C-alpha cells in the first residue's frame, strides 16, 4: 500500500525533526525505522538527487538498540533498489564526510547524547546534512509499504540479514581529513587524556591523536552506554576532570558525546571549558571570516570582535548550516558552531599548503585540535586562552518530564504582543527576580536580556519532554545561581 510519512506520524506519534527521527527504543520498531528511511530515499528520488542502483552508506553508535535499527535501515535501502555500504560503528561526522567524498547519501543510527532507552536516525544528503527546507519533502514523501513484512508488534517476521560486513574505509578517510591538514608531529610532547566512556569515536580519535604525536591516556572506557551532554556538565564529571588531570599529569582532556559530533575539552588543570565558546577559538585558528551560531550561544562571540560578520539563528544544526550557505555567497570564509560545541565548516581552509575540506555537519574532533593549535601559535596555555575571552559565563540546565505542549504554550503566551506587553508579562512571571527587561528575542524560545546585561533563555526541547534554560552572566557563580533560579521557576509552571 501507498502511505506518506505524515500518515505514519499520525499513527505512531513519531515525527521527523532537526535531528532526523528520535524516540524511545520501543517506539522505534522495525516498521517505523524502515518507513522513515524509505521516505528519506524516496524524497531524494523525487528531487533527482539519487538514482536506482547507487550506494547508501550506513553507520551507527554503541547503543544496544543500534544494530537492530541499522538492519531495518539496510532493508529499506535494499527495497529501494540501492546498494548498501556498511561503515560499522563510526562517528556521525565520519559517515557524513565519507558520503561527501564518495558522492553517496548516508544514514547514521544514533540518539546522540540522550539516554540509552532512546535512539534515532540521522539522514545526510551527498554533500551535507538535511536542512529545514528538506523536511517538508521528506515528511510528505509517499512510500510503498508491505505490512506483511512485519508482525503485530511492528518487527520483521523474516530474520534474514541484509546488512553486509562492515568496511573500514569511512574510518580511514575520516582520519586522513586531520592527518592531511595538521603537520606531522603537531601534538608531539603533549600528554592528552581521552575520556572514552561509550563514545563511538573513542578508537578513531585515539588513533588520530597518536598519529599526530600525542601520548594518549585512555580513561573510563565503558561497555554500557553513558549519555554525555556537552552542554550540561555534571559536578561529578567536573570533579573527575580535575582528578584525572592531577593523577596523570595531562596537558588537556578530550571527549565527545555518544556519536562524537559534540566535543568536550578540559584545560591543563582538568577544568572543562564552556562548550558554547569553543567555536570562537576554532574560528580564530582557522581564519574564519563569517561565523554563524544559534541565539543560545554566549555573546562573547560578538564581543571578541574576531570575525567580520556574525549571524545568529534558531537552535539546530540545519538552521546554522542554512545560514552558512547563504553567508558564503558573500565571498567570506564561513564556519559555524552550536552551544553543544559541535563545529561546522562551510568553506575549505588552506594553511601552509595543506587543505581542510568543508564538512557541512557537526564535528567534534576539529575543536580540540584547533584550540591546541591556537594555543601553540600564540604561545599560551589553553587556560590562558580561556581567560582572554570577554567575561561572559554561561550555564544551562533543564527540568525533565515537562510536557512539550505545555512548555510551548507558555512560550507562545509570553511572546504575544509588542515589546511593552511582552516585557510586562515576563517581569510578572519571573517575579522581577532578574530585574528589568531591556531586550527580548523570540527567534527560538524566549531569550530575555535584563538591565544587568544578564541573559535568561527559556526553550522547550524538541527531542525530549524537557524545558531547558540557558543563562549568561558576568561570573560562573552568578550563571550557576541564575540557572538554579530559572529551574525553580520552570517547576512552578508545571
d(CA 101, CA 91) in angstroms, rounded, equals: 16
Query: Which residue numbers are catalytic?
Result: 112
For 366-385, give one letter per residue: b (16+ CB within 10 A) or e.
bbbbbbbbbbeeeeeebeeb
Q: Would you say 343 and 279 are in contact if contact means Cβ atoms under 8 Å apart?
A: yes
- What is the SS3 assignment for 72? helix
Q: Is the dihedral of CA 61, 65, 67, 69 positive or negative?
A: negative
Q: Name the grid cell of 459.
A: 526553550
**What is the distance between the alpha carbons of residues 278 and 287, in angstroms, rounded to a whole number?**
15
DSSP 150: B
- Residue 229 contacts residue 111 (beta carbons within 8 Å): no
Longest dimension (CA), the chain: 65
Distance of alpha carbon 233 from its chain centroid, rounded?
15
**Three-point CA angle 31, 45, 80, nearest 5°:** 40
Which helix or strand (DSSP H or E) is residue 105 part of?
strand 105-109
- Residues contacting 314, CB < 8 A, separation 6+: 294, 295, 443, 444
Q: The sheet that has 290-294: what strands, in order across it?
A: 309-313, 290-294, 334-337, 343-345, 359-363
Residues 73 and 108 sit within 8 Å (Cβ to Cβ): no
What count of Cα atoms within 13 Å lies in the side-chain half-sphere of residue 344?
Answer: 30
How far apart are the C-alpha atoms of 117 and 134, rounded to whole Å? 28
* In 47-181, alpha helices (H): 66-79, 92-102, 132-140, 169-179
Which residues does residue 447 pair with via DSSP β-bridges, in sequence order?
441, 457
Q: Residue 333, Cβ neighbours under 10 Å: how many?
A: 21
* Among the listed residues 463, 446, 464, the one whose alpha carbon sits nearest the alpha carbon of residue 455: 446
Helices (H) and strands (E) in the chain, counts: 16, 24
Distance between CA atoms of residues 234 and 49, nearest Å: 43
Amino acid at each position: 500500500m501507498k502511505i506518506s510519512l505524515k500518515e505514519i506520524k499520525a499513527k505512531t506519534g513519531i515525527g521527523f525533526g532537526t535531528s532526523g527521527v528520535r524516540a524511545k527504543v520501543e517506539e522505534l520498531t522495525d516498521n517505523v525505522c524502515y518507513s522513515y528511511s524509505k521516505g528519506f530515499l524516496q524524497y531524494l528520488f523525487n528531487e533527482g538527487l539519487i538514482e536506482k542502483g547507487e550506494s547508501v552508506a550506513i553507520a551507527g553508535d554503541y547503543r544496544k538498540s543500534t544494530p537492530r535499527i541499522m538492519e531495518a535501515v539496510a532493508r529499506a535501502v535494499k527495497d529501494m533498489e540501492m546498494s548498501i555500504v556498511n561503515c560499522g560503528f563510526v562517528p556521525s561526522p565520519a559517515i557524513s564526510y565519507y558520503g561527501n567524498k564518495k558522492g553517496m547519501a548516508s544514514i547514521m543510527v544514533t540518539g546522540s547524547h540522550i539516554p540509552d532507552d532512546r535512539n534515532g536516525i540521522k539522514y545526510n544528503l551527498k554533500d551535507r546534512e538535511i536542512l529545514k527546507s528538506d523536511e517538508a519533502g521528506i515528511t510528505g514523501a509517499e512510500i510503498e509499504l508491505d505490512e506483511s513484512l512485519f508482525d503485530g508488534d511492528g518487527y520483521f517476521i523474516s530474520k534474514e540479514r541484509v546488512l553486509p560486513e562492515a568496511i573500514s574505509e569511512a574510518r580511514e578517510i575520516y582520519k586522513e581529513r586531520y592527518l592531511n591538514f595538521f603537520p606531522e608531529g603537531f601534538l608531539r610532547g603533549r600528554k592528552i587524556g581521552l575520556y572514552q566512556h561509550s563514545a563511538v569515536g573513542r578508537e578513531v580519535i585515539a588513533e588520530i591523536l597518536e598519529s599526530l604525536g600525542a601520548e594518549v591516556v585512555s580513561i573510563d572506557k565503558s561497555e554500557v552506554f553513558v549519555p554525555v551532554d556537552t552542554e550540561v556538565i555534571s559536578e561529578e564529571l567536573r570533579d573527575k576532570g580535575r582528578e584525572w588531570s592531577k593523577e596523570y599529569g595531562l596537558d588537556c582532556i578530550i571527549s565527545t558525546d555518544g556519536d562524537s559530533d559534540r566535543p568536550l575539552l578540559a584545560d591543563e588543570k582538568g577544568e572543562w571549558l564552556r562548550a558554547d565558546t569553543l567555536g570562537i577559538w576554532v574560528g580564530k585558528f582557522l581564519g574564519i571570516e563569517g561565523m554563524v551560531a544559534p541565539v543560545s550561544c554566549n555573546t562573547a562571540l560578538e564581543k571578541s570582535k574576531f570575525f567580520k560578520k556574525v549571524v545568529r539563528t534558531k537552535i539546530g544544526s540545519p538552521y546554522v548550516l542554512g545560514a552558512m550557505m547563504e553567508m558564503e555567497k558573500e565571498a567570506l570564509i564561513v564556519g559555524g558552531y552550536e552551544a553543544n560545541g559541535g563545529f561546522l565548516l562551510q568553506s575549505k581552509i588552506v594553511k601552509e599548503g595543506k587543505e581542510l575540506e568543508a564538512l557541512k555537519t557537526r564535528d567534534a574532533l576539529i575543536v580540540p585540535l584547533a584550540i591546541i593549535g591556537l594555543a601553540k601559535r600564540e604561545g599560551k596555555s589553553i587556560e590562558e586562552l580561556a581567560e582572554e575571552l570577554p567575561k561572559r559565563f554561561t550555564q544551562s540546565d533543564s527540568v525533565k518530564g515537562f510536557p512539550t505542549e505545555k512548555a510551548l504554550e507558555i512560550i507562545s503566551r509570553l511572546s504575544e504582543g509588542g515589546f511593552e506587553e511582552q516585557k510586562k508579562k515576563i517581569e510578572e512571571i519571573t517575579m522581577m527576580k532578574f530585574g528589568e527587561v531591556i531586550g527580548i528575542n523570540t527567534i527560538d524560545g524566549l531569550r530575555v536580556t535584563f538591565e544587568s546585561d544578564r541573559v535568561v533563555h527559556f526553550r522547550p526541547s524538541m527531542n525530549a519532554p524537557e524545558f531547558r534554560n540557558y543563562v549568561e552572566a558576568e561570573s560562573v557563580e552568578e550563571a550557576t545561581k541564575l540557572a538554579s533560579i530559572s529551574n525553580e521557576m520552570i517547576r512552578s509552571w508545571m
